[in-house]
């Protein structure tokens, strides 16, 4: 049995040096899980323990294993590789972090026959900060058997700058919940999901755009799902003071930790809206597409992939409240567009964001064989 090990880096401030329960159902957990389920790998996610418990481990990704390091240090990760190198046929890394450089070098000294998959999962701005011309970094990239970007724009951009081929492997979704478009009637809801109030997500753009057109769309509501940054609460208090008529139409649900409950939010909504000022390819998009949500997004790197070049959504300039408000005014009053767009969103999901297909492509890139 081949062994696939996914080691967390300290380079990602969201995950630190470990994994949380929610990530088991994102691409970083789904890739090793499907390597296990579909190809018989022993798959292990490695890092410090970030959550008290991991209920998704037994509920959804049965067979995926987790090993917890005693501390979040390079020494602990090196010692782990040394101890498990004989079983570590595939090393999976998420993010092109400098912290991975010594791990790759050490792993290759112990397992020159071993494979490395580097999922860069980055945006263009991040790519520009990477010292790709340094020999140390070139050696790091060239030691990886597959280097992948999560959207077309980033793939094209870094392919022209880096010393290695870059493949396209999107951040997809595995349909544990048997979601089908038109499975339930959709409601007049604009939905967003994420870290509400973070500087990256720019949720004030969504709120202000909705306020501009709310009177024209009296039967539409806005739902913001996710933990709310404490610094954002001052803004929301002011927002509702200025727009008291929207208190019953704008809902902050807080964090919905249960994935099945979260999927119900996607299934209810007609529109999923992303207002970020930068992104790689967020996992929420695949969940929204599978649920048949029409996508409205800021012009982040993956915008064309998300909207299938405009077939199932619209793109507005980053930070432009008026442009977003105009899109809401147009789209929310066009039932035919939304219904057809939802159907095309689900088709985009099935074609481009099905994690089964993505992992099949990864396996083919790593080992050859039939890519079907």
Query: Thinking of the domain 187-352, which architecture would CATH place it in?
Result: 3-Layer(aba) Sandwich (3.40)
Q: Where in the chain is the domain with CATH 3.40.50.2000?
A: 3-174+354-367, 187-352
- CATH fold of the domain at 3-174+354-367: Rossmann fold (3.40.50)
Query: Which residues have C-beta within 8 Å of that of residue 70, sequence separation ≥ 6?
Result: 76
pLDDT at residue number 14 = 57
The total of other beta-carbon atoms located within 10 Å of residue 135's CB is: 9
Whole-number Cα distances in Å, 14 to 8, 50, 64, 95: 11, 11, 22, 12
- Please check whether residue 164 is in contact with residue 147, taking contact to mean a CB–CB distance below 8 angstroms: yes
What distance separates the 2 farthest-apart alpha carbons in the chain?
A: 65
Tell if the pTM clears 0.85, that is, is over it. Answer: yes
Q: Are the C-beta atoms of 97 and 9 separated by less than 8 Å?
A: yes
Tell me which residues of the chain have a pLDDT lower than 50. Answer: none
Contacts of 95 (CB under 8 A, 6+ apart): 9, 11, 12, 119, 120, 121, 122
Q: Which of 60, 58, 59, 57 lies closest to 45 in space, CA to CA? A: 57
pLDDT of residue 181: 77
Interatomic CA distance for residues 41 and 34, integer angstroms: 9
Among the listed residues 175, 172, 109, 140, the one whose alpha carbon sits nearest the alpha carbon of residue 362: 172
What is d(CA 287, CA 193) in angstroms, rounded to the nearest whole number? 10
36 contacts 43 by C-beta, under 8 angstroms: yes
């Amino acid at each position: 049995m081949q062994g696939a090990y996914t080691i967390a880096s300290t380079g990602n401030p969201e995950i630190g040096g470990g994994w949380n329960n929610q990530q088991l159902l994102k691409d970083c957990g789904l890739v090793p899980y499907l390597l296990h389920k579909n190809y018989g790998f022993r798959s292990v996610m490695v890092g410090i323990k970030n959550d008290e418990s991991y209920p998704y481990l037994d509920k959804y990704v049965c067979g995926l294993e987790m090993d917890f390091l005693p501390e979040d240090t390079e020494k602990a990760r090196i010692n782990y590789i040394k101890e498990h190198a004989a079983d570590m046929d595939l090393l999976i890394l998420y993010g092109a972090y400098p912290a991975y450089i010594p791990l790759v070098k050490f792993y290759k000294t112990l397992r020159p026959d071993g494979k490395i998959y580097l999922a860069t999962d980055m945006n263009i701005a991040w790519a520009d900060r990477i010292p790709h011309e340094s020999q140390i970094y070139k050696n790091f990239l060239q030691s990886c058997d597959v280097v992948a970007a999560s959207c077309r724009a980033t793939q094209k951009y870094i392919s022209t700058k880096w010393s290695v081929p870059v493949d396209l492997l999107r951040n997809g979704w595995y349909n544990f919940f048997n979601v089908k478009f038109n499975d339930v009637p959709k409601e007049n809801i604009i939905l967003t999901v994420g870290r509400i109030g973070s500087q990256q997500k720019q949720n004030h753009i969504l709120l202000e755009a909705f306020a501009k057109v709310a009177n024209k769309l009296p039967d539409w509501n806005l739902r913001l799902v996710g933990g709310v940054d404490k610094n954002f609460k001052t803004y929301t208090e002011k927002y509702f003071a200025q727009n008291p008529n929207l208190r019953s139409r704008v809902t902050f649900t807080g964090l919905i930790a249960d994935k099945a409950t979260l999927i119900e939010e996607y299934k209810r909504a007609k529109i999923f809206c992303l207002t970020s000022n930068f992104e790689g390819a967020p996992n929420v998009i695949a969940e929204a597409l599978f649920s048949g949500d029409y996508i409205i997004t800021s012009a982040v790197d993956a915008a064309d992939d998300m909207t299938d070049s405009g077939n199932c959504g619209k793109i507005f300039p980053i930070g432009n409240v008026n442009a977003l408000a105009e899109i809401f005014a147009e789209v929310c009053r066009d039932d035919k567009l939304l219904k057809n767009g939802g159907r095309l969103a689900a088709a985009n999901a099935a074609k481009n964001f099905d994690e089964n297909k993505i992992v099949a492509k990864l396996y083919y890139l790593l080992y050859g064989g039939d890519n079907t």
